[in-house]
Amino acid sequence: MMNSLTSRISYFKELSRMRRRMMSSFKDSVKASDFSTLSQKKTSEEQKVSIHESEETMNYGDVERIAQKSVARVLSLFERYGNSEYTIGEPMTITEHSVQTAYAARDEGENEEAQLSCLLHDVGHLCGLEAHREPGMDGCGTEDHERVGAEFLGSLGFSPVVSYLALHHVNAKRYLCAVDPQYNDSLSPASKTTLKHQGGPMSKEEVAEVEKDSRWPLVLRMRHYDEAGKKPEQDVSSFLRSYENALLNNLRESISKQLSDDDAVLSEFAQSYVVSEEQLASYEENGFLIIRNAFSNDEVRTLPKMARELERITEDSETRGGRLVHYERNADGERRVCRVENFVKPCEVWSGDSYIGVVEDIVSQVYGEKAVLFKDKINFKGPKCAGFLAHQDATAFVTDELANHHISVMVAVDHASPRTGALQVARGRHKEGILMNDAGVIDPDVEKSMEFETVNVSPGDLVLFDSYLPHRSGPNTSSTEWRRAAYLTFNKFSDGGDCHESYYKAKEDAMKTGNAGAISVNKDFGGDIIE
């Protein structure tokens, strides 16, 4: 169903959205003018200059945005997961250790790039925590955290030195243990434990090989800073933000170099949200993935405004613009908007890069290839409104002729909790295919065998889930709170191409013949549809 993790990661190391857009724009201009008459508008040399200028303007105009989002991604990881215990036997947090290590490098006169390398060397542990990966190495952290961290930093656009030092700080420990018995004796119990899982001391051949690397002395110095950054009594975690400008400077310079080098291509998702390898593994295992902070603060604040505007314009049949609108009667007998479908493409803001573009990028990373929007809707779960019965989305797409597999993304507009009818998922049950159902609704006896967990989200959070993942939601028992959420469903472009228009044409036809139901082709809605 999915590509391997390796193929996904390599795929996104070979793409650049900005360059792809530039080439697409150029192709469109060529289509609009016959090659035979092209010389009448511009000479070939003038055309080349124009293209070059367009590319340069587009690329370098985006550097700051890419850098800002990459920094936000890193700082969010630290702020959400950095207060976790660093490792067993060392009573300090990852953030404390990371900042202490950076400060140790600073105190020895290392440059800004080396300090950042020290600050970020353990980011792989944070990636593991974000993906809810079970600690490895006898409970001492994320297995292969050095590799996970290096790949993650590279995908964000950090300089090769930063990624290199993150990758090799474990090898430095193995080296020093091989050449310096006293160093081995000085290791903490936790570090000795992890050493067993990291390959133990280097062999003579490995020692000889790494000593050929001109960067090796810096790696060794960094390792000593790593050991110096383990002082439980020294809490410097509050100084994490002091490195924000340094992070930005490194990214600006590194990204600019990558964009100016014809042979080096930046991961296209350094512009938005980079899904880590650990998150990809978690998605495959569990069938869903929670992504937080995918949007900027301004974009998050705009979500409720857009939802209210959508609710307003759909009240008038003349302003619906092809949108499908459903209403329900709540527990008090009040008429409430329940769902608006096919809303993205008529809405310029939603269909732009800030929202659908970011989500499409994330789903493409999970698929390992380009994803395209299949269908879209917003559920308006107002006060005392109904929830949805346990079901699978794989049975709800009108026809199997359009695409074979889908990933849906819930974009939280409001806070969600059990009281407001939050999404509930059955972890890992997507691997079982289509379960016994009645038009998508899972048989109650089968449902009893499932353990559902509530997904608590805040505005702007995303929840990706496989179309085979069983899920449900309870009613909104609140008297005042709304729980609105957009659901954006995607398919691989290689699996049917752009099916959006075809899907809604098929659904319209099904509704006309009475084969689509009142709110969907399924019977999963637990409320009373009145329109």
In DSSP notation, 420-489 reads GT-EEE-TTGGGG-SPSEETTEEPHHHHHT---EE----TT-EEEEETTS-EEE-----SS--EEEEEEE
Q: What is the C-alpha to C-alpha distance for residues 357 and 353, in angstroms, rounded to an integer?
A: 4
Same fold, 70-271 and 287-529: no
Give the per-residue pLDDT at 44: 39
Segments making up each domain of the chain, as ranges: 18-29+41-61, 70-271, 287-529
Q: How many residues does the chain have?
A: 531
pLDDT in tens, 88-102: 446 788 899 999 999
Q: Residues near 460 by Cβ (< 8 Å), separated by ≥ 6?
A: 292, 293, 294, 295, 299, 300, 303, 411, 412
Q: What is the token pair recorded at 68?
A: 């800002």
Q: Where are the beta strands (DSSP E) in 129-286?
A: none
| Among the listed residues 209, 134, 124, 226, the one whose alpha carbon sits nearest the alpha carbon of residue 175 | 209
Q: What fold, for 70-271?
A: Hypothetical protein af1432 (1.10.3210)
pLDDT in tens, the chain (531 residues): 333 333 333 434 444 333 333 333 333 333 333 323 223 333 434 433 333 333 344 355 568 877 888 898 899 889 888 887 655 446 788 899 999 999 999 999 999 999 999 999 999 888 888 877 655 444 445 567 888 888 889 888 899 999 999 998 888 888 888 888 788 767 766 666 666 666 678 788 888 888 888 888 998 999 899 888 888 888 888 899 999 999 999 998 888 887 665 444 344 444 467 788 888 888 999 999 998 877 877 888 888 888 888 888 777 766 566 777 888 888 888 888 888 888 887 777 776 667 888 899 899 989 988 899 999 999 999 899 888 889 888 866 544 568 888 999 999 999 888 999 999 999 999 999 888 776 668 888 999 999 999 998 888 899 999 999 999 999 999 888 889 999 999 999 998 889 888 888 877 777 777 665 555 545 666 566 665
Q: What is the C-alpha to C-alpha distance for residues 503 and 396, in angstroms, rounded to an integer?
A: 11
Tokens 């367009």 -> residue:
54
Give the per-residue pLDDT at 196: 62
- 440, 395 Cβ separation under 8 angstroms: yes
Q: Kindly report the number of other CB atoms within 10 A of residue 426's CB atom.
A: 24
Beta strands 423-425; 471-473: pairing state: antiparallel
Give the per-residue pLDDT at 279: 87
Q: Where are the alpha helices (DSSP H) in 240-345?
A: 244-260, 277-286, 297-314
Give the per-residue pLDDT at 142: 58
Write down the pTM of the prediction. Answer: 0.66
- What CATH architecture does domain 287-529 belong to? Sandwich (2.60)
